[in-house]
């Protein structure tokens, strides 16, 4: 069973792309736990370091639980690295346990897909603005390159992004 993770700054189309791919591939996917958790538990648009650790732990648990029901591949909407980055951004540090989950998370996936920022920014109240989207995207790409983590950057419409991802997995298309 393969697990692929989809990364990208806020409002880069990760969830839309994964949903479309899961339907095309007749498989399931793991939603971003942190989004719903944040909506329910945030105070003044922030979560505590302990809550961010909880999000990363739950994201991993959800992936582990979902893999047995996937059809050849499990698609994952973000990972512990994203949560770690939010901790650094909002608290200038991360709990050691969260840092460990983030550094170890790359062994959990066979492929990393990064959604580009070439789609319009959806400025909803829970997002922190297009400037942060640009900074977050640069952080993700720089980190992956510096740590020599292979990834595929997908861009364009949902259909074009789907085609780019499916080219990476021809045996599953």
C-alpha distances (whole Å) from 11 to each of 62, 95, 153 are 22, 26, 15
Give mean pLDDT, residues 149-157.
97
- pLDDT(1) > 70: yes
Q: Which fold has domain 2-168?
A: Rossmann fold (3.40.50)
- pTM attached to this predicted model: 0.93
Closest CA to 143 of 110, 173, 108, 99: 99
Residue spans of the domains in the chain: they are 2-168
Confidence of residue 129 (pLDDT cuts 50, 70, 90): low
User: Which residue shows structure tokens 């983030």?
Assistant: 102
Closest CA to 78 of 56, 47, 99: 56
pLDDT tens profile 56-81: 999 999 999 999 999 999 999 999 99
pLDDT tens profile 12-67: 999 999 999 999 999 999 999 998 999 999 898 899 999 999 999 999 999 999 99
């Amino acid at each position: 069973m393969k697990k692929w993770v989809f990364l990208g700054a806020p409002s880069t189309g990760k969830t839309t792309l994964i949903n479309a791919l899961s339907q095309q591939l007749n498989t399931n996917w793991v939603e971003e736990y942190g989004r719903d958790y944040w909506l329910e538990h945030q105070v003044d648009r922030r979560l505590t370091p302990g809550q961010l650790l909880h999000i990363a732990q739950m994201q991993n648990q959800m992936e582990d639980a979902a893999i047995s029901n996937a059809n050849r591949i499990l698609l994952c909407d973000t990972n512990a690295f994203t949560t770690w980055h939010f901790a650094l951004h909002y608290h200038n540090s991360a709990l050691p346990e969260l840092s460990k989950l983030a550094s170890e998370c790359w062994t959990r996936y066979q492929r990393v897909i990064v959604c580009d920022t070439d789609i319009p920014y959806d400025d909803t109240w829970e997002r922190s603005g297009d400037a942060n989207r640009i900074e977050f995207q640069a952080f993700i790409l720089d980190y992956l390159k510096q740590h020599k983590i292979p990834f595929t950057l997908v861009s364009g419409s949902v259909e074009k992004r789907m085609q780019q991802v499916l080219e990476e997995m021809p045996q599953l298309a």
